[in-house]
Amino acid sequence: MADLSTNFVGIKSPNPYWLASAPPTDKEYNVVRAFKAGWGGVVWKTLGAEGPPIVNVNGPRYGAVWGADRRLLGLNNIELITDRPLEVNLREIKQVKRDWPDRAMVVSLMVPCDEESWKAILARVEETEADGVELNFGCPHGMSERGMGSAVGQVPDYIEMVTRWVKKHSRMPCIVKLTPNIADIRKPAEAAKRGGADAVSLINTINSITSVNLDDFSPEPMIDGKGAHGGYCGPAVKPIALNMVAEIARDPATAGLPISGIGGVSTWRDAAEFLALGAGSVQVCTAAMTYGFGIIKELNAGLSQYLDDKGMTLDQLQGRAVPNVTDWQYLNLNYVTKARIDQDLCIQCGRCFAACEDTSHQAISMSPDRKFEVIDSECVACNLCVNVCPVQDCITMEELPLGAVDERTGETVREYANWTSHPNNPMARAAE
């Protein structure tokens, strides 16, 4: 089996799977259960400064989005940072780290935006012998209204300033957790790097309202007839997270900045995608809350088997896809494919025909006996039919070889480096 051990900014763990800062990492009991199950590390649920106690709601804390089969696609939570006493958390962190020295123990922190508050809590966390700290600049609800969380993460200057304080007052590796609730994720990442961050983690939850109760006319979850925006996470946010991870990994200003990928990791494939886009570790929350800590066995086995099948190491997988992430203008516009329907696999449901006929390019014909075929002269290879077909590999996209004639355009398939050199580009024509 492939070696899954990692060394992320000096933090070692037996595999790249960490539990993200959230309810599953709120106390010693949960974390020990996770380590016994096989998780490589945890980010302890966010600690705050001593002072007025954190008070969570004593009612529903989660809203949900489900698929047609009741599969959980996303959670919207309105829970705050830990409401347990700081001293209790620190004592448990110290004990767990001593009992499990081979596992990653990172402590999430969120305190008021002044240097003394950060200096004070960092000193106490160092005493636990934790491996590192994660600065929670991402939480979009509750704490942000108090000038913390995403209220800091949305201002690059604040990120840089606080990161400098942390690096000044602590020997521990510093991971800056970024909010997705921002126009350009590269700006806060650049600020974290300027401040001396050892790594960034992303994404934190997305500001959201997942549903409205149409009897009481309140957002869910509902607390005594009222609801509030919360943080959205789970499989549904994975595409957003992958894009933001890739943006940081390929940005020259942040190239080489280690990334801990978060957002919808539910299977080993999800993890492999984050790693291929440059992440050095992945953090999981919703999947563990849905299926329990035992899913780590499948996550480890699947990733290990994949690496063995590919003849790759974990290091060789990391960042493998980054060079292939580009901007639209650099895509080869003379690359031509056509849809192909495998008649042996087709179940004649007609989804491809309905989707193409009503909403796309009328490129699929239906015979009286419900045989569906692609009309090459109309097919623009949009891939919609592939995505709506319920039978895997029934519809595939076939590349036309160089020199072939595209029936739709009548043009011969040629090879252009990118849009810049393509004859359809007005700038290219002007240059000629």
73 belongs to a structural domain: yes
If DSSP codes are grouped into helix, strand and coil, which group holds residue 165? helix
In this predicted structure, what is the pLDDT of residue 380? 92
175 belongs to a structural domain: yes
In this predicted structure, what is the pLDDT of residue 273? 98
User: Are 93 and 72 in contact, with CB atoms under 8 Å apart?
Assistant: no
List, in sequence order, every beta strand (DSSP E) within 48-148: 62-66, 72-77, 104-109, 132-136
Q: Six-digit token pair at 368?
A: 């009286």
Task: Out of 42-56, 107-121, 345-359, 370-384, pick the least confident.
Answer: 42-56
- DSSP letters, 177-216, are EPPS-SS-THHHHHHHHHTT-SEEEE--PEEE---EETTT
Q: pLDDT at residue 54 above 80?
A: no
User: Higher-confidence residue: 18 or 419?
Assistant: 18
Average pLDDT over residues 193-221: 93
Which CATH number characterizes residue 421's domain?
3.30.70.20
Rounded to whole angstroms, the Cα distance separating 244 from 222 reads 31
Q: Which residues contact 257 (CB under 8 A, 6 or more apart)?
A: 189, 192, 193, 197, 199, 200, 248
Q: Six-digit token pair at 176?
A: 């800056």
Average pLDDT over residues 373-401: 95
Domain boundary among 289, 324, 359: 324
Same domain, 185 and 120: yes
pLDDT band, residue 120 (cuts 50/70/90)? very high
Mean per-residue pLDDT over the chain, rounded: 91
In this predicted structure, what is the pLDDT of residue 426? 60
Q: pLDDT at residue 216 above 80?
A: yes
User: Higher-confidence residue: 180 or 60?
Assistant: 180
Same domain, 310 and 341: no
Average pLDDT over residues 379-401: 95
Q: pLDDT at residue 21 above 80?
A: yes
Q: Measured between alpha carbons, how far is residue 337 from residues 76, 350, 382, 403 in Å?
A: 40, 22, 9, 13
In this predicted structure, what is the pLDDT of residue 53? 75
In this predicted structure, what is the pLDDT of residue 159? 94
Domain boundary among 324, 351, 373: 324
Which CATH number characterizes residue 30's domain?
3.20.20.70
Same domain, 146 and 189: yes
If DSSP codes are grouped into helix, strand and coil, which group holds residue 338? strand
Question: Look-up: residue for tokens 């996550």?
Answer: 299
In this predicted structure, what is the pLDDT of residue 145? 66
Same domain, 147 and 223: yes
Same domain, 165 and 313: yes
- R_g of the chain computed on alpha carbons: 25
Same domain, 147 and 57: yes
In this predicted structure, what is the pLDDT of residue 195? 97
81 belongs to a structural domain: yes
Same domain, 301 and 424: no
User: Are 195 and 219 in contact, with CB atoms under 8 Å apart?
Assistant: no
**Number of structural domains in the chain:** 2
Same domain, 237 and 148: yes
Same domain, 25 and 150: yes
Q: Six-digit token pair at 359?
A: 């909403």
206 belongs to a structural domain: yes
Q: Provide φ and ψ at 189, rounded to 5°.
A: -65, -40
- Quote the distance between the C-alpha of residue 180 and its chain's center: 10
Chain segment 133-169, per-residue pLDDT in tens: 999 997 777 677 677 778 888 899 999 999 999 999 9
Partner residues linked to 65 by β-bridges:
74
Provide the domain limits for residue 305.
6-324
Looking at residue 244, its amino acid is M
pLDDT band, residue 425 (cuts 50/70/90)? low
In this predicted structure, what is the pLDDT of residue 152? 86
Q: pLDDT at residue 314 above 60?
A: yes
Q: Which residues contact 282 (CB under 8 A, 6 or more apart)?
A: 16, 17, 18, 260, 261, 262, 265, 270, 271, 274, 275
120 belongs to a structural domain: yes
Q: pLDDT at residue 424 above 70?
A: no
Same domain, 345 and 313: no
Q: Six-digit token pair at 159?
A: 């990120």
Active site residue 139: yes
- DSSP letters, 371-420, are -EEE-TTT-----HHHHH-SSTTTEEEEEPPTT-B-TTT-PBP---SSGG
In this predicted structure, what is the pLDDT of residue 230? 82
Domain boundary among 275, 291, 324: 324
Average pLDDT over residues 159-180: 96
In this predicted structure, what is the pLDDT of residue 115? 95
Same domain, 173 and 79: yes
pLDDT band, residue 55 (cuts 50/70/90)? confident
26 belongs to a structural domain: yes
Catalytic residue (choose from 139, 285, 389, 394): 139
Looking at residue 384, its amino acid is L
311 belongs to a structural domain: yes
Partner residues linked to 6 by β-bridges:
13
1 belongs to a structural domain: no
Q: pLDDT at residue 419 above 60?
A: no
In this predicted structure, what is the pLDDT of residue 75? 86
Chain segment 242-255, per-residue pLDDT in tens: 999 999 999 999 98
In this predicted structure, what is the pLDDT of residue 413? 79
In this predicted structure, what is the pLDDT of residue 354? 97
Share of the chain above pLDDT 90, in %: 73
In this predicted structure, what is the pLDDT of residue 47? 93
Same domain, 141 and 241: yes
In this predicted structure, what is the pLDDT of residue 153? 81
- Which of 244, 396, 260 is CA-nearest to residue 325? 244
